[in-house]
Structure 1
Amino acid sequence: MSRNMEVNAGSSGEIPSPIRNRFQKSGSQAVYEVTETKKSCVTRVDMPGCPESDLTYWVDANNVHFFADEPAMPEYENAGRKYGGSMIFNPEAYDVKKTKVKLINGVLWITVPKIPGKNASINVKERILHY
């Protein structure tokens, strides 16, 4: 079973509370955060153990997709975690083609710029995919 995140930006609705990391002692304990700035939508996704070289992402139409795998550690009988998700943006409010994606120290940052003069709001939906 894998957890997949879908973010709808540009729709109305409430943002559900993300899963918390009970072992983290300071800072936001959300597994992911979606914030809106004056110029963009910024998503931060914790992907611990995933190297930058393993990140795969692409943009198609109004979607941003991303995947990365934590390497297996057989000495600990750990097969590694797999991460992935899709974000859907309102193409009338966000310039999805100019999306910037980077993975730094196990944290994925996705920045999607707003189209100047357009009113945008963020709606986050979660879904669980089984495969």
Structure 2
Amino acid sequence: MTTLHITVGDREQLRENALQFVQDVEDDDQDGKATLQFGTYDDFVDSLTPLRLNLIRAIAEETPESMREAARLVERDVSDVHSDLKQLEVLGILTLEEGGPGGAIQPVVPFDRIEVHIDYPLIDDGDADSAPASA
């Protein structure tokens, strides 16, 4: 099973994850890991709207042969779906492959599952991470 791991927030953790990813790439030790990181919750919800998540699921389940067929699956306008597919491709959540019927572009989701970790502090503690630990 191929899982896309999405992390949101905690900039220090994002930095550590990025450094670990680079190290894993250098060591060729990725084990099929795919990670998408958002710096803020707002970035996350702006990028992965309920309509886009529904589109991702429909493509993963039904494997449409074209953008037009994907739009029919989710009962949405083709131009809106096209725009969403382009954004999802930029994020790395899916690919748009040439060679569908009649030269159509086929959306492909290479994941079976999406897991999301959200760090959402309720109180701004400023530089609490840099303060010395108390005994």
Bigger radius of gyration: 2
Higher helix share: 2
Same structural fold, with TM-score higher than 0.5 when normalized by the shorter chain? no
Higher strand share: 1
TM-score by length of 1: 0.29
